[in-house]
Structure 1
Amino acid sequence: MNSIQYWALKEMMKSNVKKDEEEHLKEEVRISTIVGSHDNIVYLKEFVENKDRYYLVLEYLSGGELFDRIVEADGGHFTEKDASRIMQQVMSALNYLHGKKIAHRDLKPENFLLVDNSPVKQARIKIADFGFACSAEGPNSLQGLCGSPGYVAPEVLKEKDGYGLPVDMWSMGVILYILLTGIPPFNGESDEDSLALTVRGHYEKSVFHLEDLSEPAKDLVTKMLTYNPAKRLTADEAFKHPWLRGSATDNLLNVQENLRSWRARMRFKKAIIATVATTR
């Protein structure tokens, strides 16, 4: 007996889509077509338009955002090995994208989605949202300010000599840092503060609780957050790193409570911003 497969439908009225948004949408579809199918990337099945609307038919994922699921996990147990298993999946996807010379340019926790409601330790994870993705033919071939505060690479913010695929490795390094500590490395009181911390490239290594982390874990995150993009670890090198190949330990990480506090602060800040915007 064949099982039923569900798809998500994204519908947009053309009258509500600005010219630059239309260009971004069609570039996103072009990139998604090049990407095709991968176990850890959200699949775009079809793009359709008529005289009034655009329709995107996407793989349906019911598991929610990765960090929310980590916070909600029963038992409070989250180990280096659990973090490694998550990184194996997303690095597999990023290595695949970079092999096709595609830069995502907006990697952040909100774009890591779970396929279903399986326990987070067993769940399959997929990278979503290719709205800023583009082809990167050379090390400095990309221009334009994009990405999210706290995750965007410093070379993007400098807007000097262009940038390339290494910007994704910086963002993934930030995400790994959070997976290991529950604390963002470039988390300021405001977006402006976060961006300023990123441009300086200095993050607080003491919050790592170094005694709780294996040397391979510290080595990987340090090499992913290398300030010079030319010296930063590539996706292929990271995917082959010993920490992702079995050396992660079973040591418990103090992640859930830290994540819970940080996520609560972020939601509160967004709520305040939304309230201010609606009262103007």
Structure 2
Amino acid sequence: MDTIEMKLFLKKNGYSLNHTIGSGAYGTVWRATSNQQTSPCAIKIVDMSRMCAKERKLIENEVEILTSSRHPHIVRVYEVLRTKRFMYIVMEYLKGGDLIDRFEAKQMTELETANIALQLFSALDFLHRHGIAHRDLKLENIVYATLPNEGTQVVKLVDFGFAHRFTLGKKVIQNCGTPYYMSPQVANCEPCNPFQVDIWSVGIILYTLIVGQFPFYGFTRRGVAHMVTKTHPKFSGGQWADCTPQFKDMVASLLRKAEEGRPNASEAMKILQELNCETHLQQVPEYTRKHSFFDNFFKRPFDLILSQ
């Protein structure tokens, strides 16, 4: 089935493809319009014939979780269409770019970072209460539904390819995700609480948004694992000097080596809600982001993604 046939199939179902906005090994994401709504949507077209049985199971699992997870900070799937070869996942169109896109423009302030954190923990609290762990939280998988010049900034979780349902309290060996965001338990291939792995990953994201580089990094997976398990992130000097002690303590609590020492999503939300960051940050200037390790990381040719 070529592009013309895809367009004809979708037209029969009330959709018109506009232009591509992304592509991967098994398909393409298009910006599209629907006869049923005025706002644009996104359609992820997946070539199921190019997938092995395990990969098809993963995409089916992702679709099942997304279609059953309605939350203001989780990308919404409207419907799923199928032919013998292709799956068409119709979802909301997120126009604002991901966290990396925004971070390239300027350093994040504590208030901006805390606002992002509240939205992430709201989504995670919902998922975790329903026994779902995302398992691949990272800057690229947090996307803005709003443009920078709009008022309230809204972010949403995307890419649930590794998401999975777990029994609360059960520990598992997790062998998926992205190394820079992996917890000490994942790095050591130890049984872990998958929900607490998500919490750790949010800690990595928040630290990176404030400082401008990952708290743990290396040029190989083994090097990253050593940093994650043997070293501790710094919370002094630089941008941390302009953050409240309460906010620093909250981020530090997310990055505690022992899972038992980290708050859950609900507890982290309460901590953030209790922080009165706004008064402090009214006097803090916006930063023009300086060159750092973080800039070069995304230009490297190597891929450190773990396989499931």
Q: Classify the TM-score, shorter chain.
A: 0.7 to 0.9
Encode CA deviations 1:165-210: one digit per residue, 9 max, x unaligned.
1110000011111122122101223443222211325223345654
1:265 aligns with 2:274: no
Q: Secondary structure at the match of 1:20?
A: helix
Match of 1:9 in 2: 43
**CA 1:256/1:3 → structure 2, altered by over 3 Å: closer, same or farther?**
farther
Q: Secondary structure at the match of 1:180?
A: helix
Match of 1:80 in 2: 110
Q: 2:100 aligns with which of 67, 75, 79?
A: 67
Q: TM-score, normalised by structure 1?
A: 0.85
Match of 2:28 in 1: none
**CA 1:192/1:121 → structure 2, altered by over 3 Å: closer, same or farther?**
farther
Q: Secondary structure at the match of 1:28?
A: helix
Contact 2:144 2:153 in 1 (8 A): yes
Higher gyration radius (CA)? 2
| Whole-Å separation in 1 of the counterparts to 2:224 and 2:237 | 17
Q: TM-score, normalised by structure 2?
A: 0.78
Question: Quick check: 61-70 or 205-214, which moved more?
Answer: 205-214
- 1:112 CA displacement: 0.7
TM-align CA RMSD: 2.4
| Whole-Å separation in 1 of the counterparts to 2:219 and 2:233 | 15
1:173 aligns with 2:203: yes
Contact 1:80 1:252 in 2 (8 A): no
Encode CA deviations 1:232-255: one digit per residue, 9 max, x unaligned.
1110000000x4444213053786
Contact 1:169 1:224 in 2 (8 A): yes
Q: 1:185 aligns with which of 215, 222, 228?
A: 215
| Whole-Å separation in 2 of the counterparts to 1:43 and 1:106 | 18
**CA 1:111/1:103 → structure 2, altered by over 3 Å: closer, same or farther?**
same
Match of 2:187 in 1: 157
Contact 1:70 1:120 in 2 (8 A): no
- Partner amino acid for 1:15? S
Contact 2:247 2:275 in 1 (8 A): no
Q: Give the alignment of 1:1-280 within 5 angstroms.
A: 4-35=38-69, 37-72=70-105, 78-119=108-149, 122-200=152-230, 202-206=232-236, 210-241=240-271, 243-248=272-277, 249-250=280-281, 252=284, 256-258=288-290, 261-270=292-301, 273=302
Encode CA deviations 1:129-164: one digit per residue, 9 max, x unaligned.
101111121333433301111111121222233433
Q: Secondary structure at the match of 1:122?
A: coil
| Whole-Å separation in 2 of the counterparts to 1:208 and 1:135 | 40
Write 1 or 2 for the structure with the bigger share of helix. Answer: 1
- 1:114 CA displacement: 0.8
Structure with more relative contact order (C-alpha pairs < 8 Å, separation 6 or more): 1
Question: Quick check: 50-59 or 194-203, which moved more?
Answer: 194-203
Q: Percent identity?
A: 30
**CA 1:20/1:255 → structure 2, altered by over 3 Å: closer, same or farther?**
farther
Query: Which segments of 5 or more consecutive residues in structure 1 lack a partner in the other structure?
Result: 275-280
- Partner amino acid for 2:168? G
